[in-house]
């Protein structure tokens, strides 16, 4: 696989450092910061702050996706939420922009508005047009593992098999291999104990040869492990960030950019 990724004015060299993806939820009901960055000016200010703190890319999401709690929204509503923000960010923020969506039309319009990456929590499988759209847009796409339940024959083998199916789906549709990024789907289709097992075996995703994105920031398995509410999970997240990097993560998707940037820099200095 290619060892470099070009996005906007950045060249990402896999294996040289860990890249930080800052989370920008433009939703009224996100599990960790619902409504806080919903107005466009607040979203832009937060994005600028994340860039200042070290974010390499900003991930814009218009639909809360917390399993069991979030209410799905229409494609039209998602588009209304994210497209104006992406248009402004592309003009005002000197970083690549990712769109967090599993809807093909949202992804296509987001790229046309200035997004540089598609982050699909359903691994190209929810919307039958997503693989084709990602190939057409010619941008990197993060393929995340997800499923409707937490039943597995063999946890890691099943996850790897599902990811392999998503990879094949993408390549068949025309997505270039250098544009594929994998995500184990921490917090999606997994119990909190299963999330711990996935973290322990994160390095197994590297067998495919693609970069790995880890999105575990403030998630429930940290809260369940430590007995903490969502706004108290920073230290747990930083521990997961460090271990994730040790297990091969190339990108970490986080809410608390400054703290996790420092953790990543220190971990990289030791490992790389």
Active site (annotated) includes residue 219: yes
CA separation for the pair 51, 139 (Å, rounded): 21
Instruction: Out of 81, 219, 233, 247, pick the active-site residue.
Output: 219
Cβ pair 244, 211 in contact under 8 A? no
Active site (annotated) includes residue 66: no
Instruction: Put residue 100 in one of left, alpha, beta given phi > 0 → left and psi -120 to 50 → alpha.
Output: beta
Cβ pair 245, 18 in contact under 8 A? yes
CA separation for the pair 120, 102 (Å, rounded): 5
Mark out the alpha helices in the chain (DSSP H runs): 40-53, 75-92, 104-113, 130-137, 155-173, 192-200, 220-226, 234-246, 257-271
CA separation for the pair 257, 53 (Å, rounded): 6
Instruction: Out of 95, 147, 190, 253, pick the active-site residue.
Output: 253
Residues belonging to the active site: 219, 253
């Amino acid at each position: 696989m290619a060892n470099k990724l070009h996005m906007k004015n950045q060249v990402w060299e896999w294996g040289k450092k860990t890249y930080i993806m800052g989370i920008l939820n433009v939703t009224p009901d996100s599990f960790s910061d619902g409504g806080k960055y919903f107005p466009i000016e607040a979203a832009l200010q937060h994005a600028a702050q994340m860039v200042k703190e070290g974010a390499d890319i900003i991930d814009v999401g218009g639909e809360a996706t917390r399993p069991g709690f979030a209410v799905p929204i229409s494609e039209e509503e998602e588009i209304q939420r994210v497209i104006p923000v992406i248009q402004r960010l592309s003009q005002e923020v000197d970083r690549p922009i990712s769109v967090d969506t599993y809807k093909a039309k949202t992804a296509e319009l987001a790229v046309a508005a200035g997004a540089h990456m598609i982050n699909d929590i359903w691994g190209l499988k929810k919307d039958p047009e997503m693989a084709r759209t990602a190939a057409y847009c010619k941008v990197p796409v993060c393929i995340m593992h997800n499923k409707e339940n937490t039943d597995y024959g063999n946890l890691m083998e099943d996850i790897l098999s599902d990811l392999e199916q998503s990879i094949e789906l993408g390549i068949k549709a025309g997505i270039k291999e250098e544009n594929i990024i994998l995500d184990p789907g921490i917090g999606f289709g997994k119990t909190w104990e299963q999330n711990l097992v996935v973290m322990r075996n994160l390095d197994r995703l590297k067998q495919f040869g693609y970069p790995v994105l880890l999105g575990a920031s403030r998630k429930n398995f940290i809260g369940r492990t430590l007995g903490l509410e969502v706004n108290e999970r920073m230290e747990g997240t930083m521990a997961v960030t460090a271990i994730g990097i040790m297990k091969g993560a190339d990108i970490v998707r986080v809410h608390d950019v400054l703290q996790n940037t420092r953790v990543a820099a220190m971990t990289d200095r030791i490992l790389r």
